[in-house]
Amino acid sequence: MGDKIKINGISIAPDEHKLVNLRIARLPTHTNIDLPVHVIRGPEPGPVLLLTAGLHGDEVNGIEIVRRMISANLLRPAAGTVLAMPIVNVYGFLQNARYLPDGKDLNRSFPGSRQGSLARRVAWNLMNHVVPLADVGVDFHTGGASLHNHPHIRCVMSIPRNRELAAAFAPECVLNAKMIDKSFRKAAHKAGKHIIVFEGGESLRFHEESIQAGMAGTLRLMRYLNMISELPGSATMSVAAAVPGTGSGSPQGQDQTLMNMTAVGTDTPGTGTGTGTGIRTVTGAPVTHFFTGSSWIRARFSGLYRGSVNAGDWIKKGQLLGTITDPFGESEYHLKAPSSGFVVSVNRMPVVNMGDAIIHVARKSGGTAVGSD
């Protein structure tokens, strides 16, 4: 990439940080709706990392991850460029809604159209003004409706670069997830860009563990890409100060942040500055487990559900997972694990119907690849 990069006619030179607004459309009130893009460039050349959040307007954890990192100046690279988009679906965000006013799912509207529906126009702007500049990216998501996701990465494991980026992000769980037609991830892949998906928490609810995991993983990925030389204590303290309840008055919170962000080790050949002995080893981060398949445990009866396990738990075959009772106190049914595995997601809705998805269990063999972002 040359000395300057240009988005929507605005040039950004090395070591500059500019906010570029892409005009999408106007509300019926004549209020303009723009798509903001933070372009944060380092003084030295390097890769371009794209961070997107809020493709679904009610998925606030990803929005908060990117916002906090911008606010704490954690995305300023020593080399390369960060393109940070905290809210892609501005319309949905304003309405606390997943979709756009036209009822379309933005993440099923790619690659978009300049003259199409509102969702397709947003997708077109992203694909034509921003994605061509990126090398790799992370798309931040949250569990839909009442589903709560344990922080994890989703990618196609059979693509070596995807698996490599997921390992560098170093979450506790990496889930094999096929690409969905008309999704952002698949459109970017067709354009030659590698995007991994972060999932964590529940829609319309801040989940601090997921926010911290997303921030820490992003910094580990930047370190792996040689965009930052280290994860210094000053950066750790900035994150702690940016998190309510974990600033200077909460040493325990700072220690936890430091544990989540410390990364040392070697690089995959050809992608870093290490000895080339394999995927980077991350000290203090969770042990990363790669799961090739998963399946949902569903309610066999309708009634009131009370769960006994949480997202992030390991379960064993035959273990009691929860109970379903009828609201009149006449019957109670036990929900037991059909197999062992790792709980990726739980349904927090207390009233369930027969066939409802209750618990999402990942396994290192068996099952099928996840099918949605």
How many CA atoms within 13 Å lie on the side-chain side of 48? 18
How many CA atoms within 13 Å lie on the side-chain side of 79? 14
Strands (E) located in the chain: 5-7, 10-12, 17-26, 32-41, 44-53, 79-85, 136-143, 147-155, 173-176, 194-202, 289-291, 293-298, 303-307, 314-315, 320-325, 332-336, 341-347, 351-352, 357-363
Q: How far is CA 38 from CA 16, 68, 150, in A?
A: 10, 13, 28
pLDDT at residue number 106: 96
Q: Please report, rounded to a whole number, the percentage of residues in the chain having pLDDT higher than 70.
A: 83
Q: Give the model confidence (pLDDT) of 8-48 as tens digits.
A: 999 999 999 999 999 988 888 888 889 999 999 999 999 99
What integer best gives the mean pLDDT of the chain? 86
Instruction: Assess whether the previous peptide bond of 45 is cis (omega < 30° from 0).
Output: no
Q: Give the model confidence (pLDDT) of 97-154 as tens digits.
A: 999 988 999 999 999 999 989 999 999 999 999 999 999 999 999 998 789 999 999 9
Structural domain boundaries of the chain? 5-290, 296-363
pLDDT at 179 over 80: yes
pLDDT at 177 over 80: yes
Query: What pTM, to 2 d.p., does this model score?
Result: 0.86
Cβ-Cβ contacts under 8 Å for 265 (sequence gap 6 or more):
274, 280, 281, 282, 283
Q: Which token pair is 193? A: 């860009």
CATH of domain 5-290: 3.40.630.10
Lowest model confidence (mean pLDDT) among 1-15, 213-227, 268-282: 268-282
What single DSSP character describes residue 363? E
CATH of the structural domain 296-363, one choice from 3.40.50.720, 3.40.800.10, 2.40.50.100, 3.40.50.300? 2.40.50.100
pLDDT at residue number 10: 95
